[in-house]
Structure 1
């Protein structure tokens, strides 16, 4: 990040229209200018942002999940009643109160629901009351670990049914182990029933060059496959980050990976309390490879056994391993964004042959998982350790960015630029972060290179590549102030990828315009600036599923959810921009309008950029629309072949599926409901103020 971010808040006078509310000045990083701007925000902005991003709605749109929970609750309540006991239900992390209301309508005798997130506990009380269960459900605004049991406690007596959903993509990342362990020790009877009863983690060992692009930095080649830049062994062999890479695996083409070991169960978690809870564990499974190749990673997912008899299973598997696919059931595989699949990269690639015996190591602590693979059993403690990045690359950049650096189609366009516009007299100033490919210019004979590299870890990677390739004509500038220390009159070319770690949306990388414009007066008039133009584009689409993350519930499994919808809508209006960043390649959609250009920014000329325009996305052929997508195209030197798009990778046809760039996130506006009508958008851009706004009319 080019400028440090400072967070300070100053209270302003109460709003005259609502004296209960205060506004505050907050210093917030502006990604377009790199400056910390003072902006006015609602005093409860952080609160509303947390509510808006809570993802409760996405989960409640998951019909299969909801119904499996209810079926398991019915079984548990009937079982407790068959024992001649009252069904006393504890709902941990109740959210909207949905599971508690399911228990109530299916005969539970008493229900205590706890929810530590205050806005949701208050919302649950309203939802429960509006559905007629006020007298049956007691909502406690506490963490389960803070609940007390006894005549004067939160629970008058221990419960005999626990229902909870405290899982994430990694299964245990939200503290499931400690939650269940504490509940069994302090809140539940010994012969209680738990919904869900257990969980199983599955792993599939694969070779997947596409995914490995997100993990390992590769050497840089030219069209003739000649190595232009070598990556140091320290970076190539770095174990990388153990952090989970959550991803919609079903969107990976089957042709993109080679299965070394088919999906197998590797870890089981018993939530029932019948076995002791283990917070740190490692297992080894000796297996035979079903194909030869490089074992690079595991694809991971999990399932839940919802009831004690195992009749109801909730699976998070991708489509090729999903039970419904195996049973040839024709219904669609349930879509989820709250529980998706994950990739865990091995610390090192292991080449294996078909039928070779290999040993998969699966590990977890209280909150996370990690994996390793060996071809022998002469193991040391290091093979059980959580891998840690040693090179800095995996800490400096997201996995998406590492994939972008490895994207050879993109890099070849930069290479053609260098070949066409660089000679022995060229002095280049790079205003980007992590643009290691720029070092190729030195290999092609440029006189000198200046890199503005303010990210300390990225700078360390850059220095190691320079040293490893014996490049001597490079100067690294660690801050914008260092530009004052060089004679910019010598610079003949300013180049930006552009990429900056502070960027979230594609057009945030217009920070390049701001930086280049600021130094323009110090430059030689004949200096060339690349890229030359930036086009901001948009297109209306119909998503298969992504719209569900913002769609109102109205009702859920027969329960009214108006209070919840109102809460999310209010918080979203206060805290959210109407256009958000999403990796759209993971979310299938079809185009329902032509793409249009909202703005064209001339990067070469600089100057004031301040315009406002209104655009209409014409929905064609009677198609319905539930979203509008936005992206950026960087026109490097004016040639169409040199344009780099952060949006569709192929020309778009209305009514056809869109294939999106896998190495960037696009902008998306999700409509509250589908529409057949045209969509009008007012677009405002002011690069002097660092402001880009979308308003949908």
Structure 2
């Protein structure tokens, strides 16, 4: 009791709080002691501020437009009064000040960033030239916060979907309340481009497929409700430049479909639809829309910021070897068409592009068959697109993985088999019943995924499958009847690759009730890692130091402190989207026998021996699952081909790997420490 009281006094003195955090591996809610400012530190750490500030082209185009606007205002004999909405670090405000703005007012509603902006502005000598107001722009009042209306607006309130951060309402309010009528706005306008394509590879992230045997027999059919579902309208951010060119068949080339005028010269419309009628360029099955946008930064259209993928970028028209700017804060997006449309070359078709205040959606129809329904927002009715992430749907469609599970089932399942499945959304496992299993129990605790599973069971007429909705209900089954325990393993709560080791904690709970001769699959799991040089990904975690000539030390310190307080060293990333070269051989952190898991804490210290001349800026981590103890039974969540030092790594496209990022290190070795506490299910990885 005395120890507990001393502990409470200590955290009270340090102004700490208890934060409840789900341990994805053990499945238990842990209480963790954190700083009382944990919430905003987490928000700072997860923001895209650093990534944006590393975007040199973005920064330079904003400054060029500011310089032009200030010059135009001064040429009229007026003072240049600049309003910077969402100033962040104050970068754009300082650009305005050094280019001759007479007054600069910056607003930033996120208090940690407005405080940081004040420090950066003072450090760079603009304390008396820039006024920072810790408010939303919609809360500003002329005569109170602003002495007068401004004649230049500069802002960056855009996301991958362009309008998802409320750009329309932000610009409209500014024009109504904060700006003069003949003001200059930076940027002036935006154009959204759409490209209609056939891409079965990309469609794997959206449409669930039947599960086939090697001889082509359909073992598990996708229910009609799921098969015919229009899917989700949610944007799917993606680095489109990394898709194989061979996976894309263009039906309609990139086409401007929506224009947004930020200048205030035309009314702001919050809901709108356009129709682009054209002819199909190729035969194919129109499945999805690739989308991106560009910004006209200045009044003359001399400065254009484009978010186009590699094949459509304006720089490529000038120089086919040009390296286009890398961005992670503004990627391209995929929108899945509500219904696939077979088309023939030369066929007239209509692309419908719609938006509301915050989002976009698209449809493609035969020009003679357009109805009001084609303008409606797609809405998932089957539940599968809500229960499962895009990544998970891709996994479920991965035939390479599925064939290995089917080979396992064909080898071990017989008419006496009673199977317990410990995985979420593992529809492939249902094939065991079609292969003759006597009985199957499936633990499915999530209500949404349970609904989808029920649909699969009913549609495929699998009468001998019983869903167990909770761990309490699981305890009531007759474990002595179980002859096989099967896991993918995959769980909805998983974030990092090793989180799916929740399987061993579920097994721990039931192992003593099972017979001694029960078969358990998978049998092993190996956590592996490789040292990497990423071309760009490391920028999202790299300090800025100096940005466009401005000292950014205060920002770097804020980001670093926030990450240390709120973030783990390892984060999930779909590494296929981020090119990187292997600098070392594979290091195995741990190889686990899933039927005989250790109870003591496991600790390994090791070294990545680096080769080549490239700097190391990250460690990639994944898990290899061995289903049956053979080489053929290995399912990887990492490289899909052997790693060759000095060459790009080809990553599995349907999982997210773990990655530990850091600034470039010019060294010959990276030391690491890997620790696995089996008692509480915590894994830590650190390198130095």
Match 2:373 to one of 382, 396, 419: 382
* 2:63 is equivalent to residue 80 of structure 1: no
Distance 1:30 1:103 in 2: 47
1:29-428 pair list within 5 angstroms: 29-150=22-143, 153-328=144-319, 330-428=321-419
SS state at 1:485 partner: coil
Runs of 4 or more off by more than 4 Å in structure 1?
10-16
1:625-636 pair list within 5 angstroms: 625-636=616-627
Q: CA deviation at 1:622?
A: 3.7
TM-score by length of 1: 0.97
**Match of 1:453?**
444
TM-score by length of 2: 0.98
Structure 2 CA distance for partners of 1:579 and 1:434, relative to 1, 3 Å: same
Distance 1:249 1:609 in 2: 45
- Aligned pair count reads 684
The answer to whether the 8 A contact 2:316-2:322 is kept is no
The answer to whether the 8 A contact 1:532-1:638 is kept is yes
Distance 2:240 2:686 in 1: 34
Distance 1:469 1:405 in 2: 17
**Match of 1:483?**
474
Distance 1:331 1:413 in 2: 42
Structure 2 CA distance for partners of 1:321 and 1:124, relative to 1, 3 Å: same
**Match of 2:491?**
500
* 2:549 is equivalent to residue 558 of structure 1: yes
The answer to whether the 8 A contact 1:426-1:446 is kept is yes
**Match of 1:641?**
632
SS state at 2:671 partner: strand
SS state at 2:475 partner: helix
Distance 1:12 1:339 in 2: 45
Q: CA deviation at 1:12?
A: 7.3
Q: CA deviation at 1:535?
A: 0.2
SS state at 1:309 partner: coil
The answer to whether the 8 A contact 2:73-2:80 is kept is yes
Structure 2 CA distance for partners of 1:340 and 1:12, relative to 1, 3 Å: farther
The answer to whether the 8 A contact 1:392-1:461 is kept is yes
SS state at 1:320 partner: helix
SS state at 2:109 partner: coil
SS state at 2:624 partner: strand
Match 1:514 to one of 496, 505, 510: 505
Distance 1:683 1:484 in 2: 34
Q: CA deviation at 1:15?
A: 4.3
SS state at 1:282 partner: strand
The answer to whether the 8 A contact 1:27-1:38 is kept is yes
Q: CA deviation at 1:676?
A: 2.1
The answer to whether the 8 A contact 1:208-1:256 is kept is yes
Distance 1:238 1:572 in 2: 40
Distance 1:519 1:334 in 2: 53
CA RMSD of superposed structures (Å): 1.4
Q: CA deviation at 1:675?
A: 2.5
The answer to whether the 8 A contact 2:570-2:660 is kept is yes
Q: CA deviation at 1:302?
A: 0.1
Distance 2:6 2:183 in 1: 51
Q: CA deviation at 1:257?
A: 1.1
1:14-29 pair list within 5 angstroms: 15=10, 19=13, 21-29=14-22
* 2:681 is equivalent to residue 690 of structure 1: yes
Deviations 1:94-114 (A, max 9, x none): 000000000001111110000
Deviations 1:573-604 (A, max 9, x none): 10011111111110000000000111011112
Distance 1:435 1:125 in 2: 52
Distance 1:551 1:289 in 2: 44
Deviations 1:475-501 (A, max 9, x none): 110011111221010000001000000
The answer to whether the 8 A contact 1:12-1:25 is kept is no
Q: CA deviation at 1:25?
A: 2.1
The answer to whether the 8 A contact 1:530-1:604 is kept is no
SS state at 2:160 partner: coil
Distance 2:561 2:598 in 1: 39
Distance 1:486 1:392 in 2: 28
Distance 2:162 2:559 in 1: 25
The answer to whether the 8 A contact 1:14-1:22 is kept is no
Q: CA deviation at 1:517?
A: 1.4
The answer to whether the 8 A contact 2:528-2:590 is kept is yes
Distance 1:582 1:86 in 2: 47
Q: CA deviation at 1:605?
A: 2.6
SS state at 1:568 partner: helix
Structure 2 CA distance for partners of 1:186 and 1:635, relative to 1, 3 Å: same
The answer to whether the 8 A contact 1:14-1:23 is kept is no
Q: Which stretches in structure 1 are left out of the alignment for 5+ residues? A: 1-9
Distance 1:71 1:198 in 2: 16
SS state at 1:663 partner: coil
The answer to whether the 8 A contact 2:159-2:165 is kept is yes
Q: CA deviation at 1:26?
A: 2.2
Which segment is superposed worse, 452-461 or 250-259? 452-461
Distance 1:591 1:125 in 2: 41
Q: Which stretches in structure 2 are left out of the alignment for 5+ residues? A: none
Distance 1:125 1:214 in 2: 44
Distance 1:236 1:11 in 2: 59
Distance 1:634 1:616 in 2: 24
**Match of 2:423?**
432
**Match of 1:659?**
650
Deviations 1:427-455 (A, max 9, x none): 11000000000010001001111100111
The answer to whether the 8 A contact 2:598-2:678 is kept is no
